[in-house]
Structure 1
Amino acid sequence: MVSVLVLAACFGLILFASDAFGFNFQNCGRTPIAPQLEVEDRILGGSDAVPGSWPWQAAIHTYGHVCGGALITDQHVITAAHCTFSVSVLDVMVHFGTHTREERDEGEMWVPADEVCTHPNYGIHENQLWVNDIAIIKLSKKINFTNMIQPVCLPFDHEELPGNSTMYVTGWGVTGAQIDDRKSARLKQVQTRSYTNKDCDEEFLITVPDVVLCGGHHHGSSCYVSPAA
């Protein structure tokens, strides 16, 4: 199984060039521990992920808050701009190889951030959608890959995700319909599908800009429109 991290916003073409990071992407997106992908993952809240089955999953810690991210090289993590906006790099710690949010896991690793690059055009679009919600974190050191820690793949330049593609969202976010519901203690996965922006416009009666990836599912999903990150 090869997984690709889908990005609908980026800092120009540099993000998609393998030599931009000086990193070989040939072995990206491969997990030694197979995920268990079920139809039931479509429900709100999804299901518990198999420990280690999403080895690029990172937890971004800032001021006690936890955001999700994905390891893209041995020294770079991609995450959402709303997780790093107005945050000092000295307060950013990245956690790898973990499954349970509040417990220690064997093989986990903590690495401080060295640089944080937040998209300069991150903000609210005219239709109240957050756009360019993307940031890159450079780690203070290169990390060694293990069965529990692996990089995900990036798409090629000008590569577009077809509509109705199966996607998975992973993280430790709230599993209920309300924002103040309790966050999951274990890593969760939920299945969703991609919409073309045209289909998204018609489905939700809004105008979705090109820098936003639209996804959802008739059976439920994490959210129906997601700023790309």
Structure 2
Amino acid sequence: MECLKAEFFSPIALFKTPFSIKGIETYPLPPYSTVIGLLYTASGKKWKGERFNISVQGDYEAIFRDYVRFRKYNKKDKKLETLPLEVPLFYNFRLTVHILGDENLLKEFEKALKFPYVFPYLSGGEYPVKITKVKMVACRKEYFDTFNIPKNAYIPENIFTEEFRVSLEGHGVYYRVPSFLISQKPRQHEWVGVYYVQKGTKVSEMELLVDEEGEPVWV
């Protein structure tokens, strides 16, 4: 089995949740919809219903909080209001993505990431991203007595079974993250259940899908 592996770096990153109310809250990693958007932005094409699987994992050096001046129109009083807003930001964010799908589609994504149509970005155009690696890699299932998860990761519900839960040293944090787009008007996504597991967490006596470089592939 082969998949496309890509690594990204951004000095600053933010993945705003749609449920932020008074302040801005962030996902710990980009949701699948953000990665899908990056792939199609790089290719200069629109998504036409293609389906593929994505593994998302990453790391950062620190989280810091910034303040921005937020301007919002008050419909009731019919005036523009200004207020300070706290924004959590990831510093020196690194992202690793594996994509499994149709061979021709993977080749298109590989070419797009090596020669992007426009400069790619994560979490808004104000945060550019550097593509540090793009390559096809072989993937295989391998049994491990003990495996240390090397990077913070989204682990899908289909992997996070009761058997996996028992083998995990620690607990994951459950998230519902947007994935493929269902409709433009109104804008709606499919929502996928994942568990966010931090790097260094141990998994014991489990068969895992890993790439040829020894990194796990969470699909």
TM-score by structure 2 length? 0.33
- Higher Cα Rg, which structure: 2
Taking structure 1 as the reference length, the TM-score comes to 0.32
Q: Give the number of the structure whose residues are more often strand, by fraction.
A: 2
